A and B are shown apart, each in its own frame.
Chain A
Amino acid sequence: MSEKKYWKGLEELYNTPSYQKTVRNEFREELPFGEEIERLMDAKTPRRDFLKYLGFSITAATIAASCEIQVRKAIPYINKPVDITPGVPNYYASTYAQDGDYCPVVVKTLDGRPIKIEGNTSSSITRGGTSAMVQASVLSLYDTARLRYPMIQGKEATWEELDKAVMQGLASLGGAPVVLLTTTLMSPATEQLIQEFIQKYPGARHVTYDAVSYAGMLLANEACYGKRAIPSYHFENAKAIVSLGADFLGTWLSPVEFASQYAQTRKIKGKKADLSQHIQFESYMSLTGANADYRYTHRPSQQPAVVLNLYNAVAQALGKPQLSNVPALQDESLQKGIQRAARLLASHPGEALVVCGSNNPHVQIVVNGLNEMLGAGGKTIDWNAPVNYRKGIDADMQQLVADMEAGKVGAVLIYGANPVYDYYDGQRFAEALKKVKLTVSCNERKDETTVLCQYVAPDHHYLENWGDAEPKAGYYSFIQPTIFPLFKTRAFQESLLAWMGQTPDWHGYLMKFWEPKLGGLEAWEEALQNGVIEPKQVSLAAAPFKGDVQGAAAQLTAQQPKMGELELVLYEKVGIRGGRWANNPWLQEMPDPISKCTWDNYVCISPALAWKLGISINRFNENDLNRPVARISAAGKEITLPVLVLPGMPKDVIAVAVGYGRSPEVGKAAGGVGKNVYPWVNLNSQSLTFEYYQPAATFTLTGETYPLAITQTHNSFEGRPIILETTQKQYNEDPGEATREQREERERYGGENYDTQGTLYPNLYDFPGLKWGMSIDLNSCIGCGACTIACQAENNVAVVGKDRVIAHQEMHWIRIDRYFSGDPENPQVVFQPMLCQQCDNAPCENVCPVAATNHSDEGLNQMVYNRCIGTRYCMNNCPYKVRRFNWRDWWGATSFGGTKDTADMESELTRMVLNPDVTVRGRGVMEKCTFCVQRLQDAKLAAKKAGRPLMDGEAMTACQQACPTQAIVFGNVHDPGAAISQLREENKETRLYYVLDDLHTLPNVNYLVKVVNKDPGDFYVEPVQHVL
């Protein structure tokens, strides 16, 4: 069929040129501007110019508006001080030796001011470990509540005036004796000086008084070994550890030392675990109890019975003579526990250690007998090096008070001690003090005792002072000043010298004391540089035992106190301890390892008791921090305290921490926080020692509520695979079991190549050089919180105050999650340090609209504070919930109103503690753990300057360095020789796991499975149900 052509007009048919043109130009009409367009272009300010001006002004305005200009005055040195290079830190070895707590340290000073405390790794005692209290001690240096000048009758005076007055006072005593009242001193030079002082003032005596006393041990050892001393303990040599109420990981005697030793027995190398077994008997939920493999609870008044029964059970197992007339224990689980402990101890002769927290000498004699029976002497107990940690004898103090009351004391010179606050009858001491002619306090602040003294000669902070310490016989440690004294204070020793009429030169005295002993100036300088001198050869020794165990047992049986319905235990918190350093906002805000409560003391009660009283803490109200208040009365004293329901408390025991309820003059942080419960300390009228419980207490709810600043309110990990644990038996049978599910899940998505194959978006980052990684061993972590405070000090982490903690706006970059599982009356506890996981596929990074958080080519998840506008999207999207937002201007970092100053951080003095290498974050920006990036940069720079690659261990994070148990390993995972790489390789198929691995966040922090030395049958895997 031929194609027909249709046409619309002749033009189309003939296809004329005009028609073609028409087709080409569909729109024929001109634009309707006409001449206007020319006028527009010829105008004086044409449209384009207008746009240019507009563009320029907007850009200029924007740039001008976005510049934050601050005026800074920079004044260079005219004469540069020796050793001080701005921005370059110096490290000085020193020693934290306060009230008998000992920790050799290295002090980091920057631009002439100490800003950080590290453990001294040269010490074999603490092996570089620290505690929260030691870490926080640098802040106390800059405490605004410290006394700044000597005072006479509460008024400022000069030292000359004070010395004159005191010496006059001393001269006009008319023969009445002078008493030096101190806490435990471990300084040999000071001891000598005190002896000289006593010689100068005949009749003078030195009374040592410890707020929390160990007199029971001292007296027991005197009775058993003829030495009024405490031996060294060696937990690292023990395969069987039984603690009878001794919180040796948290507060007992020397927790840093013991934690470090203990951790050595809890490490797992390879596929075979051979852990020590640790059984704890106690009356409240302690940090040590939380770490025990088995834990049994009893009433505090039952402790002698527990010790005696344990003695007999062990004696029976070993076929040794048993004690007669031992009171029976009714509690079935306690009996089982004693049997278990006895089996354990008896099967580890020479590898067993029993420690006891009792202050009753008779109990300690039985414990000594027990240790003797187990052959602990020379193995786990060393009498070659008795320790000087505590020296106070309670009876001496009681005698002193009696003498003072009788007017038999002419003068009291107080140094360190604060009996008005922490003596069991502080009021009586205060009254007695009035009868003393001359009262002088050398304490560093207006504490409860100092305000009652006529003369105040404030001591230096230890970081400003010279000193020495002998923690154990043969072990020496030195203190050197790291800053010129901030105030008109004077070393206690200088005051003594002055009052003896000598030149007040403590440094000179110390050198004169040590130089001959060490053999010259050079040796002295070397000793100062190293910080410690230790014996070359260490041999452990036993001591001949001549204790009368049967006699002690008879005493204990006779002394059986009448048990009330409820008993009250007094305990020390890991952060605040006896309360001397309570005015330290870092310590106040450190969540208690067990209760996770900050800024208060409270009465801990068991879930069973709570249930009985009608207090139900359940999933609907666990977040409500307004907790009921109870009135507790014991020994005729009544105190109201908020109630904290704590799993693990025995059902008939309530527990309250000492160290709180300081007077407002002690400082802003401590003043008025909590209640002082020292008045509840019990005097054992027979042994004249203090006991830290009340056998009969009553407990009534007042119907009121009180807010407690608790940071973690949900106690169960809900069986989620964020915590993986197993038992030693299961581990040895199948080391990979606990992590198998995670490994199989990974296998399904590429195994080794999980990072690229487990995602739809495989183009992740390249890490050409270093790549940082961290490993946290849940088996070594004891939950002590030293890392939290170390991080706070290193990274200028803000203190937010109680009300903000209640609002859950706390700022800690590393927190310790504490989870309970199993029986709420006696749960298993696991601690998990949680910090930024530095994910390689970080959920926080991709959601930031301004790219303020991004990834470095070393695997770090970086926060650019200057870029952050504070949308908080990253915080929401962080599955680990480790990001912290500056809800307020915590320390006047922003030149804007509205500071929320809770820790005196606006004070120029307190701000001296800030680490200048770390930006102080202003209000409205996000922050989080950086893996201490400033330290990493520093280490890299040092290696670069030295022209060599970075070596393993040169870059350490603050948390890692502070950890007393070395639970944290950190390093470059690209270095196959690095500890972190080897650890990961070694545990690849056994204990290594990542938290929330299935989210494909690719964390750079891994955890190692917790292995408990418990029979699988006793190991609870099911979570505590939502209702506690």
Chain B
Amino acid sequence: MLHYESTVREPLVNGNKDYHQVTEDIISPIEKKPGKLWWIALGFAVTMLLFGVWSVFWETYWGIGVWGENRTVGWAWDITNFVWWVGIGHAGTLISAILLLFRQGWRTGVNRAAEAMTIFAVLCAGQFPVWHMGRVWLAFFILPYPNSRGPLWVNFNSPLLWDVFAVSTYLTVSILFWYSGLIPDVATIRDRAKKKFAKFFYGLCSFGWRGTAKEWQRLEALGLLLAGLSTPLVLSVHSVVSMDFATSVIPGWHETIFPPYFVAGAIFSGFAMVQTLLILTRKILHLEEYVTLGHIEAMNKIIMLTGGIVAMAYITELFIAWYSNVVYEQGAFWWRILGPYWWAYIILITCNVVSPQLFWFKKLRRNIPFTFVMSIVVNIGMWFERFVIIVLSLYHDYMPSAWVYYSPRWPEVGFYIGTFGLFFTCYLLFAKYFPVIAVWEIRSVLKTSGENYKQKMAALEQKDTEEFLQEVQHEHALAAH
């Protein structure tokens, strides 16, 4: 029997769709008044954000001492959260850049949300290195700006400075990428808008997009170009972040394995976060036909793969600590697993190594509630991974006389909660006022991968070879116009 395409390729868009229907499905929620659920969610998010603002104010007013950090553990929740949020951002870039270059059609259903997530996550991440400074009002010292202080310049040897460049570049490129992809869809909203302000606002945002062939050509070229630029960023940003630790002398930090280990971890947690967000979004905005089970399963596979990589890294760390025969290195891992913070390590291993193994079962990979729970478990695990690396390396390092325990205080917990508030506030506003699925990109795959179009092809498959080939060519010719 002939097959038009492999049976494993399931439709990327379900239901009986045409271009107009796609537009209706995705754009019309933007034009409606927001629902009750949205208001409640926004209320929650803004409350969290305000609590975060209060926590940061408190910390800035009284000093970092209101946190639980101490003379031995100089970084804790602050940098843990920074690394965690930056890591989360990575899935967005991976989806939009690397999967674009690899021509993965399924990315179209999820890329817009993932890119938005990237930007908001990086915004959240950026809060931490800024507000963790003892003298935040002098934060601009870390920018290499021309000054009147003679030869005084930033220290280019410091990984923290590399972070500044890495993260700010990342944010810039991500915003460009995301926004340029938004323009045609914003123009669609503008064209449909009836209210004066909406017309004006979306008109402004769409930069006068007219949809000419030249514009489309340029947009696609720009997309490719930015994808090319972003691809190394996916790898470099978290590598640079990992160097904050890898270039230090602290056992448990000083590890050459860190860059790939961190990148894998970042993608691991990033995809988990995309899952969390999209499972909610598709439900609330009724977009199940666009974000299909196929999408979810594909992402679960990536989670499993990257989970395997981080598991390998954990084992390598332990092996090298033993093999190195360095007392401090061995001590660091001994105290990591068997010290007073043993439970953090257990959580890390359970969440990141043990639980993702359940995704070997296809049934579970395609089970939405299970995926949702797993996406949260993975993110808890990845938070603990960073916490374990940062706090559990510092708290028992070289000098036993300086060993301490660390417990967080409310302002640092509040700061973290605040960034959730910031993230969800941004995401909710975005999901309400901008298309959370890329309409034009869905359209581009609709006729090849839409369910109704695939079904149309199913009829062909009954025909004999000669006829089949002829029809397929004919259909393709039609699709091309």
Contact = CB atoms under 8 A, between A and B. Distances in A.
B is a partner of A: yes
Interface of A: 59, 62-63, 65-66, 619-624, 712-714, 716-722, 804, 807-810, 815, 817-819, 832, 834, 843, 846-851, 867-873, 875-877, 879-881, 883-889, 896-898, 900, 922-926, 996, 999, 1001
A810 to B, nearest CB: 7
B159 A624 contact: no
A747 to B, nearest CB: 19
B213 interface: no
Interface string B334-375: 000011101000000000000000000000000000000000
Given A63-B147, A722-B398, A923-B134, 8 more contacts: A619-B340, A624-B405, A717-B400, A720-B331, A804-B65, A851-B152, A871-B134, A873-B158
B126 to A, nearest CB: 14
Given A850-B154, A851-B152, A875 B74 contact: yes
B160 interface: yes
Given A59-B146, A722-B399, A875-B71, A621 B248 contact: no
Contacts of A832: 401
A879 B397 contact: yes
Nearest to A853: B155
15 contacts: A623-B403, A804-B65, A809-B70, A843-B248, A849-B155, A851-B154, A869-B134, A869-B136, A869-B141, A870-B133, A879-B399, A881-B402, A883-B71, A885-B74, A996-B398
Contacts of A843: 248-249
Interface in B39-74: 61-66, 68-74
B83 interface: no
Nearest to A721: B327
Contacts of A996: 398
Given A59-B146, A623-B403, A722-B399, A872 B69 contact: yes
Given A834-B399, A870-B135, A807 B140 contact: no
Contact of A879 (B69, B136, B158, B249): B249
B160 A871 contact: yes
B135 A849 contact: no
The 8 A-B residue pairs whose C-beta atoms are closest, nearest first, are A870-B134, A924-B134, A887-B65, A623-B405, A808-B70, A872-B74, A817-B401, A881-B402
Nearest to B139: A869
Nearest to A1023: B400
Contacts of A926: 134
A898 B75 contact: no
A817 B342 CA distance: 26
Nearest to B65: A887
A720 B403 contact: no
Main secondary structure of the interface of A (DSSP, over half): loop
B65 A809 contact: yes
A723 B210 CA distance: 76
A134 B42 CA distance: 63
Contacts of A875: 71, 74
A808 B74 CA distance: 11
Given A887-B63, A888-B63, A924-B63, A869 B135 contact: yes
Query: Which of A620, A877, A889 has most B Cβ within 10 Å?
Result: A877
B197 interface: no
Contact of B134 (A849, A868, A898, A1001): A868
B68 A924 contact: no
B398 A849 contact: no
Main secondary structure of the interface of B (DSSP, over half): loop
Given A846-B158, A847-B160, A887-B65, A819 B72 contact: no
A693 to B, nearest CB: 31
Given A718-B331, A807-B68, A847 B340 contact: no
Contacts of A717: 400-401
Interface string B85-116: 00000000000000000000000000000000
B480 interface: no
A722 B340 CA distance: 23
Contacts of A873: 74-75, 158, 160, 244
Given A848-B155, A849-B164, A999 B249 contact: yes
Contacts of B152: 851, 867
B205 interface: no
A924 B74 contact: no
B63 A869 contact: no
Contacts of A713: 403-404
B145 A924 contact: no
B440 interface: no
A998 to B, nearest CB: 8
Contacts of A883: 71
Contacts of A807: 65, 68, 70
A621 B340 CA distance: 7
B403 A850 contact: no
Interface of B: 61-66, 68-75, 129, 132-136, 138-142, 145-148, 152-155, 157-161, 164, 244, 247-250, 327-328, 331, 338-340, 342, 394, 397-405
Nearest to B155: A851
A817 B399 contact: yes
Contacts of B248: 843, 847, 876-877
Given A62-B140, A851-B155, A871-B160, A881 B64 contact: no
Contacts of A63: 147-148
A888 B135 CA distance: 11
A65 B139 CA distance: 12
B56 to A, nearest CB: 14
A51 to B, nearest CB: 15
Contacts of B72: 808, 881
Contacts of A722: 398-399
Contacts of B331: 718, 720
Contacts of B138: 66, 869
A623 B140 CA distance: 37
Contacts of A897: 61-62
A851 B153 contact: yes
Given A873-B74, A924-B133, A925-B135, A846 B155 contact: yes
Nearest to A625: B405
Query: Which of B139, B250, B342, B401 has most A Cβ within 10 Å?
Result: B401
Query: Which of A886, A887, A996 has most B Cβ within 10 Å?
Result: A887
Contacts of B68: 807
Nearest to B340: A620
A120 B441 CA distance: 85
Contacts of B157: 846-847
B158 A848 contact: yes
A716 B335 CA distance: 14
A881 B70 contact: no
A714 B71 CA distance: 15
B71 A847 contact: no
A887 B64 contact: yes
A922 B62 CA distance: 12
Given A834-B401, A885-B134, A849 B158 contact: yes
B401 A819 contact: yes
B64 A924 contact: yes
Contacts of A817: 399, 401
B317 to A, nearest CB: 19
B162 to A, nearest CB: 9
B75 A876 contact: yes
Given A846-B158, A848-B155, A877 B249 contact: yes
Contacts of A59: 145-146
Nearest to B409: A807
Given A720-B327, A876-B248, A897-B61, A869 B400 contact: no
Given A872-B134, A873-B158, A881-B398, A888 B62 contact: yes
A926 B135 CA distance: 10
Contacts of A804: 65
Query: Which of B62, B71, B398 has most A Cβ within 10 Å?
Result: B71
Contacts of B64: 870, 872, 885, 887, 924
Nearest to B164: A849
Nearest to B140: A62
